[in-house]
Amino acid sequence: MKNDFVIIDGREVQIEGERNLLELARKAGIDIPTFCYHSDLSVYGACRLCLVDIEGRGIVTSCSTAPEPGMRVKTKTEEIREIRKIAIELLLANHDRSCPTCPKSASCQLQDLARKFGINEVPFKSTHKPVPVDTTSPALVRDPNKCVLCGDCVRACHEIQGIGAIDFAGRGAHTCVLPAFGKDLSQVECVSCGLCASVCPTGAITPKPEIEQVWKQLDNPNKKVVAQIAPAVRVALGEYFGFEPGTITTGQIVAALKAIGFDQVYDTSFAADLTVLEEGTEFLARKTKGEKLPQFTSCCPAWVKFAEQYYPELLPNLSSCRSPQQMFGSLAKSMLPEKLGVDVKDLVIVSIMPCTAKKFEAKRPEFKKSGMQDVDYVLTTQELGLMIEEAGLRFNKLEPESLDMPFGFKTGAGVIFGTTGGVTEAVLRYAAEQISGVKLGSVDFKAVRGEDGIREAIVNVDGHELKIAIVHGLANARAIAEKVKAGESDYDLIEVMTCPGGCVGGAGQPVSRDPEARKLRARGLYDSDKMLEFHKAQDNHMVNECYKTHLGKVGGQKAHSLLHTCYASRRRIEDSDIDLLGGAGGNKLEVSVCVGTSCMVRGSQNLLQELIDYIEEHGMQGSVDVKATFCFEACDRGPTISVGGTVINKCTLEKAVKVLDKELNKAKAQ
């Protein structure tokens, strides 16, 4: 109703479905400060910066207060301003204030708020005690010294990705955010997606830089350094230099890279076109045979690692295609040495990616030949922006330059890979022609486009129905995977992207707190598709020539060798045994019980307690060492335990006791 309004700072503001007073105030152009509020996450209300004064109620948090008609709200009274200022000063007192050298310096919300509130000195005694920085992950750096305990990273990892690789630990002044059991990020189930880094308001979690290594290669006269640019980079890098989100800056990016010293600049969209042909052919073969369906896409390395950790039984359903990044690296290392007149060991491939998980992917052992990585270094969009600044280039003044051939030629199908639904649509543009044998009149498959985390579409192609699911966010991927695992799905093709919105929302993109930015970047990719002459991967004559002269048949032996791979089950927690009983050394019988998710839901926690009770009741503590562990790679056969090296699947207390007594009697007899 038109009378449904709130009076904020003396102005009437219409209520139009806003969840809370914070959203309503921002709609009215009032920027209430906050650390812990994020539009994609649940309301948390921890930072207490978004306080407002409601007439008749007093001071409340605006993020957790729903708007009601007739409310009279003040957002900037003297009392509120003073409370906010003290809160920021207290945060600074417990913070590593090495701001000029912090990688988040240019986009740090704490710095921004300190400036806005005129905080020139901190009146409180510093309570900060330095703790080690975790640099073990190939993708991320975790610096607990800069954490403000806003919880954004914890909620993002749990709510959007459904993983929970980091969480709160400790109490009171000892509260901190940690990976499981205080381990490093590289030792837990982190998939390197970097969503935690993209929502972190400070420099507590940031993408791991590789800028210095790349500069070193560029300065080496014996090296040929080439770059590949991912589709989503061209619609986001401009934001770093003040352009509107979604502005296509491909020409300026090429010019900047050439000015920095790169010998050749190519387009990952070329490899995306390759992926369409290989993955589309693989899909049609599976559909024809009715085998290994649904087919999951495999372009997203964070999703692949997630599947390896949680759904190893579904790995045969993943496409065997490498991601476009890795296809490019493999093909470039195979073709470019001869073309550029350089030994392969002196050819350096640098990827410019919107994604932190690509750093992890490039270092996977599957993508090494003769000890050399197919892709040597991965720079995020943010890192490229820093390099351009460091080189003293004025990005908005650069004259656009062209990509190098042959790997610079692409179609719109390869470009739209960067947004959710784009991979599916690109494959459909290929599969539809292969099924019908008729050239497509319209290449748009708008049924697979959208923003919902789980979308379904049924596409009719020449009388054949293809049922498709498009997913972004790993919590959504888990829901779909569970349906497939339970036999409750009849999908043919499932596209999975880890980051919200797809690659356009990757953690390596410029930091933006505008919820519209991802949409504008996606629109930029679709606009780029429309502006190109060709929109189907099969129409890329450079790709076709590559098959003719180098790869042979699509899906053939050589193409499979260079462009495909395979994956295997992966432990979620490394070096993860936890002593629960015994553990004092000596020659004891070791009993390990898996307490991972799959075994836990099958009763391993109860079994563990029953075993400990049995051992204590029978006075075996001096002979038995009981540990909790996390994976025997038998997730479908739990609960699983090991007694003296004997693995027991679908274990019960009776089975465990039988083996336990047998092993102890054997030890006594020796």
Provide the annotated active-site residues: 279, 282, 299, 319, 358, 361, 366, 503
Tokens of 284: 């049609």
In angstroms, how far is the first alpha carbon of the chain from the final one? Answer: 86
* Six-digit token string for 424: 């599916």
User: With 0-12 CB in 10 A as exposed, 13-18 as middle and 19+ as buried, what is 89?
Assistant: middle
Alpha carbons 296 and 277: distance in angstroms, whole number: 15
- Cα dihedral sign for 502, 504, 510, 514? negative
Instruction: Write out the H or E segment, with its range, that includes residue 531.
Output: helix 517-531
| DSSP single-letter state for residue 134 | B
Q: Residues 92, 145: contact at Cβ < 8 Å?
A: no
Residue 649 DSSP symbol: S
Q: How many residues does the chain have?
A: 670
* CA–CA distance, 568 with 364 (Å, rounded to integer): 12
26 phi and psi angles, rounded to 5 deg = -65, -35
**Is the bond preceding 500 in cis, omega lying within 30 degrees of 0?**
no
Q: Which long-range contacts (CB under 8 A, 24 or more apart) does 39-42 make?
A: 39/515, 40/156, 40/160, 40/199, 40/500, 40/515, 41/152, 41/155, 41/156, 41/159, 41/160, 41/199, 42/155, 42/159
| CA pair distance 657, 168, nearest whole angstrom | 37
Q: What is the DSSP string of 353-366?
A: ES-SHHHHHHT-GG
Q: What sections of 311-366 are H helices per DSSP? A: 324-340, 357-362
**Exposure string for 544-558, b = 16+ CB within 10 A, e = fewer:** eebbeeebeebbeee
Residues 317, 308 contacting (CB under 8 angstroms):
no
Q: What is the C-alpha to C-alpha distance for residues 155 and 45, in angstroms, rounded to an integer?
A: 12
Beta-bridge partner residues of 13: 6
Q: Is 317 exposed, middle or buried (0-12, 13-18, 19+ CB in 10 A)?
A: buried
Query: What's the sign of the alpha-carbon dihedral 251, 253, 255, 257?
Result: negative
CB 350, CB 223: distance < 8 Å: no
Q: Among candidates 124, 314, 110, which has minimal Cα distance to 200?
A: 110
Tokens 């999951």 belong to: 296
What's the CA gap between 298 and 305, in Å, rounded? 10
DSSP state of 302: H
Name the β-bridge partners of 463.
none
Tokens read off for 638: 């739990």
Q: Cβ of 3: how many Cβ atoms within 10 Å?
A: 9
In degrees and rounded to multiples of 5, residue 648 shows phi and psi of -120, 115
| φ, ψ for residue 71, nearest 5 deg | -60, 140
H, E, C per residue of 439-497: CCCCCCCHHHCCCCCEEEEEEEECCEEEEEEEEECHHHHHHHHHHHHCCCCCCCEEEEE
